Every structure is written in C-alpha cells, then in structure tokens.
Amino acid sequence: MADRRPVATEDIDWSAPPATRRAPGRSRRDGGRIGSVEVLAVLLVALVLLRAPIAGLVSAPWLQTWTTVFVSVLVQAVPFLVFGVALSAVIAVFVPRSFWARALPKHPALAVPAAGVAGVVLPGCECGSVPIAGSLIRRGVAPAAALTFLLAAPAINPIVLTATAIAFPNNPGMVLARGVASLAVAVAMGWLWLRLGRADWIRLPHRPHLDDRSRGRAFWAACRHDLMHAGGFLVLGAAAAATINVAVPESWLRGLAGNAVLSVLALTALAVVLSICSEADAFVAASLTQFSLTARLVFLVVGPMVDLKLIAMQSGAFGGRFAARFAPATVVAGVLIGSGVGLVLL
Amino acid sequence: MNRRAQAVVMLLFGGAILRASLSDMYLRFVKQGLRPLLIAAGVLLVVAAAMTLWYDLRPPPREPAGEHGQHDEPGAPHGESVHDEHGGGHGHGHGEPRVGWLLLLPVLGLLLVAPPPLGSYAAGQAGTVLTAQEPDSDYPPLPPGDPAPVTLLDYASRAVFDGGRSLADRKVRLTGFLTPGPGGEPMLARIVLTCCAADGRPIKIGLTGDVPAGLPADTWVRIVGVYSDRTAKDPINDATVPYVEVRSWQQVAAPTEQYE
C-alpha cells in the first residue's frame, strides 16, 4: 500500500486525480490479482469450518479472560467510536470552514484555552475524540487547539466528574483537583505545541478528498475511512490492554505503594497500560487504596490522555512521529501538574 | 483492502455487535445501560457498510447533474479542493485502511469464540473491590424477606463499614460463584463492573459454618447465612474481606447478569 500504484489496487478513491483513475468498468475487476474480497471470503469460510478447534484453543482460563477483556474493551468503546466518527464526518462535510474561524479566537494562544473549555462541556470519550480532533485539523483549526480539545474532552466532562465524585465520597477535593489538573495539562500541552510543535510531525492519513459533489457520498466515505482506520487501531490498543490486564497481577504493585515518588510513577504506568475508559477509571482509582491520593490523582489525569489504546489510535490518526513525541510529553506534563495540584489541593 | 472488502468487514462487525446486544451476550462484557447505544452503533455500522457498497457499485458522479441527490450549491464549503494530507502522508509504513483487517478479530471473538463472563480466574488476579466508602453513613434497613436478598457488595459494605449493625438478627441470601481463597478454602465472589469487563473487580466474602465443599471453582451457589464478625485481609490489596456464617446452601444456574 506504500505506493498506491494505480494498476495494483482497486482502492483508488473516486476523487483521485483523473490520471490515476481507472476506467469505471475496469476498476471493478483486478485482472488476475487476488483481491481483498476473495481473501476475506476464504478467511471467513476457513474460520467457520475451523470453529471447533479455534474454540478449543481458547479454553485455558487466562486465554478466556484475555478474550473477555479484549472483546469488552471493544464493545464498550464501539458506540463512542461510531458516534465520534459520525460527528467527525459531520464536521468534515457539513460544517463550513469559516465556522471554525468565527467560533475560535483568532490568536492560537487564545484558541487553546477556548478549545480546552469546549472539551469540558462536550461529553466525549477518548475513542471518539481522536477522529474528531483529526477532523478539526483538516478543517483548518490550529493543531494546538485541536490537540487541547483531544486531551480535555475525555478527561473533564460532566459524566467523568460525576463518576469521580461518586467514587471518592470522602474526598470531594478529588473532583476539583481532577478538573483543574486535567484542564491545566490540556492547555499546557496546547501551548507547548504552539512553541515547540512542528506541522510536519502530524501526518493525517490519506482520506477521500471531500470536494466531491455529493455530500452524501463524502459523508459515508469519511465514515467508512475513519471507522476502518480508528477501529483497527482500537483493536490493537484493546489487545495490548487485555494482555496487561491478564499478565500483570495487581499484587506486583503493592511493593511500590509505600514510596511517594515510586507510587506516583507506578500508577502513571498503570494508567498508561490499563487503558480504562475515562468514565470508569475513578472507580478503579478508588479501589487502589494502598496508594496516596496524589498518586491516584495522577492516575486519573494521565489515564484519559495517554494509554496504549490512545497511543495506537493517535499514531494511526496523526502518524507515528507525532505520537512518539506527544504521548511522552503528555505523560510528563500529567505527572508534574497532577503531583503539583495533588500536593496543594489534596 | 478495497472498499468492498471494507464494507464486508463493517457489516460483519456491526452484525456481531447487533447479535451480541440483541441477545443477552453483551452482558458478559458491559453493563445493561449500554444496550441502546450498542444497538444504535451496530445499526450505524451496518448502514455505513450498505452505503459503502451502494456508492461503490455506482460510478462516481462526473457532472454536477450526476445521478445522486444532493449537490453542493455554489459557494458551499466544499467548492475548493481540500487536500488533507501533508505531502506523502500515506507514504509511510502501514497503508491506510490495511489496519482495518484487525476488526475481524473482535468479530471472531464475538461470533466464534464467545468467551465466558469473568469468573474465578479473574477474581484470583485482583484484590477485593471493597474500599473505604462512607464509614459513618447509616445504611437503610435490609430489604424485606426472610432470608433478605442482598448483593455481595451490599453485604460486605454493611459488614465492614457498619460493623454488621444493619445485618443483626437477620438471615441474608447471597448469590455468587465459588473461588479459592488464599489458603485454597472456598470463598464466595462476584465481579463488580463499572463500565466494562476491563475494569471488573471482584468482591470476595469468606465462608464459615456450613461451607460448600467438593465443588469446583466457578460453580454458582446461593447461600443463606447470618452475619459473622470474623474478617480477613485480601493479600492482594490489603482490603478487608468479611465473612458470612453459612446456614444452608444450594447450587444454582449462573444468572443472566453475572456482574454486580
């Protein structure tokens, strides 16, 4: 797929330049080459025939637990992914570019906090906010503002803050600390991007050009592309999260809880590898009683912004060079700001 | 992966989601409240697959008067060509939709493997979920009935945080699966779910009195018992594990909604 040769793929977008577009009649068949539909058909027949042996393979308890966790991460994320993709397709196809120029402050340094506050109001899930942020950048929103939205939307919204309040009934300060720290990290990352970020780190994947005459066609093409793309990376992330969930017993963490610095670092690592959705992570944090409140705050700040599932999705949506810089920087910002806010407020 | 294969994958994925959410199968993975969203997402996936096939089977419109309905009016936002990718954005490592093949894995998991709900194995991996809640809150009286039906989480909270006051002089009925405790003795457990099975944490209750014996792990039992002031520590997270004194027990079929 690296070079998208016109003769080698049926996958040319209908809006590709005419020079590379094959005649409509011929593009249906791919002279003698086995296409993906055929591969898919053979694969499916093989799977149905081999159903019993496959089911037998996954009879070990750890493998069954792995499969349950893997499927459940996906099932939980699917509605948010699908609606996020649909919303991002609406942004891409139906919201005029001029809208964003009017809605956000002209100066990017001001657009960043505005995007952060927009993220607070919109109840988003991390799986949905990745394609939305990609769409915003495509529509001319400053990347710094779009990235702030990407971080803020899942981390601080009414649903997440309510869940946090329920999970920590004895520590109402936790809700405030979570909101303040998460917003601060999101805005700080936006400003950091303004200062240090380089446009060529972001590589938005090739997507059907949306200058087609039919908006319906453009809408469904954007949906299809983002679903397959973000969905595929979501599968990668879910598999990684399930592996960690099964392979790393909770008891390993116990030894680290006594030390203030180590406990923050341990829960940071746990937040990254567990990849729990932001509506649920407060309850997991509440159950990690042997850790300090500050360590658990860092867990809540980092988790919705950086985890295995998100790193996979971000490198899919913005390119590996972007994710390799953005994710570690966000972790560092989350740990520093989260610890600082925790020391002051908790 | 061409568009038609993508449509088939989306159709399978949406179909698998719909099949799971229209039966009780989705309860193995997520909470009941997610069902409407799951059905809507499944339908949207199937529609996206259908629309992809529909557009792929007809040639792209060349003229403004193509055969397809809506067209941009002059001055619409898409008049200009939108060049998304920075040059060569698709020229690196993974081709853009190829990662979509991975969506066959959850289809495989949902339609062919159909993994069981989390049980004894997961309960042994994680510490009991019971953690400091409102220690001073007064618990409402137990529900009526003799024995009173209570959830494991409710019993454990009353036993640990209320010192068993609201459990005094009452018989309770608890339903859960058996899981071996730290010393191999059977404990009663259930998985508590907040969002999805990935955040599932066990609630564990120790058993004294007429302890069910000779049953394998993951067997579902319904016990009738009374409050016991005996407690233990879960070695995994140092949380308190309360005990119940079993008066009688019976083996039962696993409930539809296995999580609490």
- Residue A67 CB-density burial (10 A; 0-12 exposed, 13-18 middle, 19+ buried): buried
* pTM reported for the whole predicted model: 0.74
Contact call for A67 and B109, based on CB within 8 A: yes
Amino acid A123: pLDDT? 60
Q: Domain residue spans in chain A? A: 58-345
Beta bridge partners of residue B231, listed in sequence order? B242
Distance from CA of A265 to the nearest CA of B (A): 18
- Low pLDDT (below 50) residues in chain B: 63-96
- How does pLDDT run across A314-333, given as a tens digit for each residue? 888 898 899 999 999 999 99
Contact status, residue B104 vs residue B211, Cβ threshold 8 Å:
no
In this complex, the residue of B29, B40, B129 whose CB is nearest that of residue A75 is B29
Among A85-89, A186-190, A249-253, B77-81, the range scoring the smallest mean pLDDT is: B77-81
When computed from its CA atoms, the radius of gyration of chain A, rounded to whole angstroms, is 22
Better pLDDT: A188 or A50: A188
Contact call for B96 and A1, based on CB within 8 A: yes
Q: What percentage of chain A reaches a pLDDT higher than 90?
A: 20
Beta strands B172-180 and B148-149: pairing type? parallel
Amino acid B13: pLDDT? 94
ipTM topping 0.85: no
CB atoms inside a 10 Å sphere around CB A97 = 14
- How does pLDDT run across A179-214, given as a tens digit for each residue? 999 999 999 999 999 998 888 888 877 665 555 557
- Residue B79 CB-density burial (10 A; 0-12 exposed, 13-18 middle, 19+ buried): exposed
CB proximity B182 to A under 8 Å: no
Closest-CA residue of A relative to B194 is A280
| Residue A181 CA to its chain's centroid (Å) | 20
Distance from CA of B227 to the nearest CA of A (A): 24
Interface test with B, best of A26, A76, A202, A284 (most B CBs within 10 A): A76
Query: For residue A239, what are the contacts with CB-CB under 8 A and spacing of at least 6?
Result: A70, B105
Q: Residue A149 corresponds to which tokens in the numbers above?
A: 């939205």
Q: Domain residue spans in chain B? A: 3-115, 123-251
Overall fold of domain B123-251: OB fold (Dihydrolipoamide Acetyltransferase, E2P) (2.40.50)
Contact call for B198 and A76, based on CB within 8 A: yes
Euclidean distance between CA atoms B29 and B106, whole angstroms: 12
| 3-state SS assignment for residue B99 | helix
The most confident of the ranges A229-243, A250-264, B154-168, B213-227 is B213-227
Contact call for B10 and A227, based on CB within 8 A: yes
Find chain B residues with C-beta within 8 A of A223's C-beta. Answer: 48, 51
Provide the CB-side half-sphere exposure for B169 (13 A, CA): 1
Contact call for A76 and B51, based on CB within 8 A: no
| 3-state SS assignment for residue A256 | coil
